[in-house]
Amino acid sequence: MTDVSGGPAALPVSKPRRGSLLTQDALTRRRNAAEARFKACGAVAITLSMLALVWLLFSIISIGSPAFRQTFLTIPIELPEAKLDKSGTRDPAAMAKVTTVGYAAVIQAALTKAIKEKGISTDGLTPKDIAGIVSLEAPAQLRNHVLANPDLVGQTIDFEILANGRVDGFFKGRVTMESARLDSNIKPGQLVLAQQLVEAGIMAQRFNWGFITFPDASDQRPEAAGLGVAIIGSFYMMIVVLVLSLPIGVAASVYLEEFAPKNRLTDLIEVNIANLAAVPSIVFGILGLAVFINFAGLPQSAPIVGGLVLTLMTLPRIIIPARAALKSVPPSIRDAALGVGASRLQSVFHHVLPLAAPGILTGMIIGLAQALGETAPLLLIGMVAFVRDYPGMPIDGFFDPASALPVQVFSWTVRGDPGFVERASGAIIVLLVFLLVMNAVAIILRRRFERRW
């Protein structure tokens, strides 16, 4: 068989009837060209969307990353007992009588002294101008620090104080000498002083944990604004959404898919669920306002109400993929379970649900991620309020006023001070990091589940 030459004599060979296989006919060429065109369109579409994504990420990161760095002054501050604790008892309640105005004077004195020690000239600047390079928030921070540690009174402490937002913007390139000349909030002389302070080692930029931990701040002090309350609020809302929508969503989809009779009523429910998933989210905000706040009397701006509204919004978006996941479990598994005498509930919980779990989980996390980024319904239930107090611990904290990450982005973008532009983009970065973490968790959990089976 392997010896070709020893084979039977060569037979006469037939001629191709429909043209040679080695040349393409017109139809084949047209088909191949159409395929190539389609592939090229796809490649162009992918490239465009990748470019858009890269551009988006680049612009957000380049605008937002400065929010994670902040300019601070580190100066020795003398805390005179005569001014801060007249009673001499170190009793925080008595010391609280001294307002931030008193602390502002302390900071101003310390700053003037530090500048004098370094031999920096302050010609042409009033004492008020000198104090103006410090954030308006700094006296409040110093006051909180002293009230928390009353024993510091009478000592001299090294304290880090926030620089003013314009000074900070100067080092980030947002504020220039030219823009300062037109700006009533800052003078070029103050920027020169700030530059000298940096050279003297008093003022420096460092990583800004305050952006993650501080609460929101008012219009005049972008340098002190942080995401602390918004992160806690979003986290609480996600807990409420998870705790409510996972059991309700899974139970509803299991019932509809496995137990409910197929009739007009269930058809109607099915259509309604599909429609609810497409309802604009702001409608859920109106519903939440009417039902949870006006009717049920729950507090405004509270994570519990936000969580409930987002649960309503998320449920259909969880039920639809959960039902698809249940539907994709092969019926032979149900037959097998029923065939050995399992009840329907047992066949669902022992076999069908574990097999559908990865799909349900993915739908769940995608639903949660959508809820995390949802802004419109939260605006209607008052989560856009300016909240400076951290909400308490769960479960009571669910009823305290809080903000939410996407709402914080929204409210910062409408503020006047240019310092909030970088804050808003920084908040978007934090939001994106949260979403990435959630998606990574979803992928890991799905892998884990799939490996078990």
Partner 1 sequence: MNDMRIAERVVDSMESKITARGVQVFYGQNHALKDVDVDILDKTVTAFIGPSGCGKSTFLRCLNRMNDTIDGCVVKGSIKIDSEDIYDPKVDPVQLRAKVGMVFQKPNPFPKSIYDNVAYGPKIHGLTRNKAELDEVVETSLRRAALWNEAKDRLKSPGTGLSGGQQQRLCIARAIATSPEVLLMDEPCSALDPIATAQIEELIDELRSQFSVVIVTHSMQQAARVSQRTAFFHLGYLVEFGETGQIFTNPKDPRTESYITGRIG
Per-residue contact flags (x/-) with partner 1 for residues 349 to 368, judged by CB under 8 A = -xx---x-------------
Q: Which CB, 23 or 332, lies closer to partner 1?
A: 332
**Interface pick for partner 1 out of 262, 264, 278, 416 (rule CB under 8 A):** 262
DSSP string, 155-177: SEEEEEEEBPHHHHHHHTTSS-H
Is 264 a binder of partner 1 (CB under 8 A)? no
Total site size for partner 1, rule CB under 8 A: 20
Is 330 a binder of partner 1 (CB under 8 A)? yes
The token pair that represents 250 in the structure block: 């899974």
Q: Are 246 and 316 a contacting pair, CB within 8 Å?
A: no
Q: How many Å is the Cα radius of gyration of the chain?
A: 33
Is 280 a binder of partner 1 (CB under 8 A)? no
Apex 276 CA angle, 272 and 278, nearest 5 = 125
**Interface pick for partner 1 out of 76, 124, 339, 392 (rule CB under 8 A):** 339
Q: Which CB, 39 or 448, lies closer to partner 1?
A: 448
Q: Which CB, 43 or 336, lies closer to partner 1?
A: 336
Q: Which CB, 333 or 379, lies closer to partner 1?
A: 333
Q: What are the two backbone dihedrals, phi and then psi, of residue 69, each rounded to the nearest 5 degrees?
A: -120, 145
Is 343 a binder of partner 1 (CB under 8 A)? yes
Is 267 a binder of partner 1 (CB under 8 A)? no
- The least distance separating partner 1 from the CB of residue 354, rounded to whole angstroms, comes to 8
Strand residues in 222-310 grouped as ranges (E): none
Instruction: Mention every residue, 6+ apart, whose C-beta is less than 8 A from residue 251.
Output: none
**Interface pick for partner 1 out of 296, 335, 433, 444 (rule CB under 8 A):** 335
Closest CA to 207 of 57, 67, 62, 412: 67
Closest CA to 211 of 371, 71, 374, 375: 71
Instruction: Mention every residue, 6+ apart, whose C-beta is less than 8 A from residue 164.
Output: 132, 133, 134, 135, 136, 186, 223
**Interface pick for partner 1 out of 60, 130, 342, 445 (rule CB under 8 A):** 342
- The least distance separating partner 1 from the CB of residue 360, rounded to whole angstroms, comes to 16
- The least distance separating partner 1 from the CB of residue 241, rounded to whole angstroms, comes to 31
Is 446 a binder of partner 1 (CB under 8 A)? no
Is 336 a binder of partner 1 (CB under 8 A)? yes
CA 172 to chain centroid? 23
- The least distance separating partner 1 from the CB of residue 238, rounded to whole angstroms, comes to 32
Closest CA to 161 of 127, 197, 116, 185: 197
Binding site for partner 1 (CB under 8 A): 261-262, 330, 332-343, 346, 350-351, 355, 453
